[in-house]
Structure 1
Amino acid sequence: MASAFLSIVKKLIRKGNLKLTLANGERHMIGDGTGDLVVVRVADEEAEKLIRRDPTLKLGEMYMEGRFILEHGSIYDFLEMVKQNTTNEIFDIPMAALLISRIALQQLKSRLPVNRNKRNVAHHYDLSERLFELFLDQDWQYSCAYYDPPGISLEEAQVAKKRHIAAKLLLEPNQRVLEIGSGWGGMGMYLAEAAPGLDVTGITLSEEQLKISRERSKQRGLADRVRFELQDYRTMTGQKFDRIVSVGMFEHVGIGNFDKYFKKVHALLADDGVMVLHSIARPKPSFATNAFIEKYIFPQGYIPSIGETIPAIEKAGLLVRDVEVLPLHYAQTLRHWRERFVVNKAAAVALYDERFFRMWEFYLAGSEIGFRWDELFVMQIQISKNQFSTPDNRNYIAQNEAKLKEFEATRPPLEKVIL
Structure 2
Amino acid sequence: MLEKTFYKMMLSKSFPFPVKVTYWDGKSEVYGNGTPDIEIIFNEKIPMSDITRNASLALGEGYMDKKIEIKGDIQKLICGAYDSANSFMRSSKFRKFLPKQKHTEEQSEEDVQSHYDIGNDFYKLWLDPTLTYSCAYFEDDNKDDLEKAQIAKVHHILNKLHPHEGKTLLDIGCGWGTLMLTAAKEYGLKVTGVTLSEEQFKFVQKRIYDENLQDVAEVKLEDYRELGDQQWDYITSVGMFEHVGSENLSEYFHDIYRYLKQDGVALIHGITRQQGGATNAWINKYIFPGGYIPGLQEIIGDIVENDLQITDVEMLRRHYQRTLEIWDENFNNARDEVEKMMGERFTRMWDMYLQACAASFESGNIDIVQYLMTKGPSGKDLPMTRKYMLHK
Q: TM-score, normalised by structure 2?
A: 0.93
Q: CA shift at 1:236, angstroms?
A: 1.3
Task: Go from structure 1 to structure 2 and tell me whether the alpha carbon gap of 1:272 and 1:60 turns closer, same or farther (over 3 Å shift).
Answer: same
**Cα distance between partner residues in 1 of 2:248 and 2:117:** 23
How many residues were matched structurally?
Answer: 388
TM-fit CA distance, 1:200 = 0.6
Percent identity over the alignment is 34
Gaps of at least 5 residues in structure 1 are 403-419
1:190 counterpart SS class: helix
Q: Which residue of 2 aligns with 1:200?
A: 191
Given the alignment of the two structures, is residue 327 of structure 1 paired with residue 317 of structure 2, yes or no? Answer: yes
One-letter amino acid matched to 1:315: E
Question: Distance in 2 between the 1:144 and 1:310 partners?
Answer: 21
Amino acid of the residue matched to residue 7 of structure 1? K
Tell me what 1:69 maps to: 69
Between 112-121 and 315-324, the greater mean CA deviation after superposition: 112-121
Alpha-carbon deviations, 1:273-309, whole Å to 9, x = none? 11111111111213x3111111111112111233111
- Displacement, 1:343? 1.2
| Alignment match of 1:357 (pick from 347, 350, 354) | 347
Q: Distance in 2 between matches of 1:47 and 1:69?
A: 17
CA RMSD of aligned residues (A): 2.1
Report the CA distance between 1:153 and its aligned residue: 1.1
Q: Is the 8 A contact 1:145 1:161 kept in 2?
A: yes
Query: 2:307: which partner in 1?
Result: 317
State the alpha-carbon separation in 1 of the partners of residues 177 and 81 from structure 2.
38
| 1:415 match | none
Aligned to 2:23: 22
8 Å contact from structure 1 (residues 5, 52) kept in 2: no
d(CA) in 1 for partners of 2:265, 2:364: 31
Correspondence for 1:146 among 129, 137, 154: 137
Residues 78-87 or 213-222, more deviating: 78-87
> Is residue 188 of structure 1 aligned with residue 180 of structure 2?
yes
User: Quick one: distance in 2 between partners of 1:320 and 1:362?
Assistant: 36
Could you say which residue in structure 2 is the equivalent of 1:41? Answer: 41
- 2:148 maps to 156
How far 1:149 sits from its partner (Å)? 2.2
Matches of 1:125 and 1:24 in 2, distance apart? 41
Determine the structure 2 residue equivalent to 1:245. Answer: 236
Residues 162 and 127 of structure 1: CA distance in aligned 2, closer, same or farther (over 3 Å)? same
CA–CA distance in structure 2, aligned partners of residues 302 and 274 of structure 1:
25
Structure-2 residue corresponding to 1:85: 84
Q: Secondary structure of 1:116's match?
A: helix
What 5-or-longer segments of structure 2 have no aligned partner? none
Deviation at 1:51, TM superposition (A): 4.1
Cα distance, 1:390–1:306 mapped onto 2, change above 3 Å: farther
Report if aligned partners of 1:205, 1:231 keep a CA contact under 8 Å in 2. Answer: yes
Question: For residues 4-403 of structure 1, what are the structure 2 equivalents within 5 Å?
Answer: 4-13=5-14, 15-33=16-34, 36-46=36-46, 50-51=50-51, 54-70=54-70, 72-89=71-88, 96=93, 99=95, 102-103=97-98, 105=99, 108-109=100-101, 115-151=106-142, 152-196=144-188, 198-286=189-277, 288-387=278-377, 388-398=380-390, 401-402=391-392
Structure 1 residues 146, 67: closer, same or farther in 2, change over 3 A?
Answer: same
The code of the aligned residue for 2:72 comes to G
Distance in 2 between residues matched to 1:333 and 1:73, nearest whole Å = 20
Distance in 1 separating the partners of 2:131 and 2:375: 32
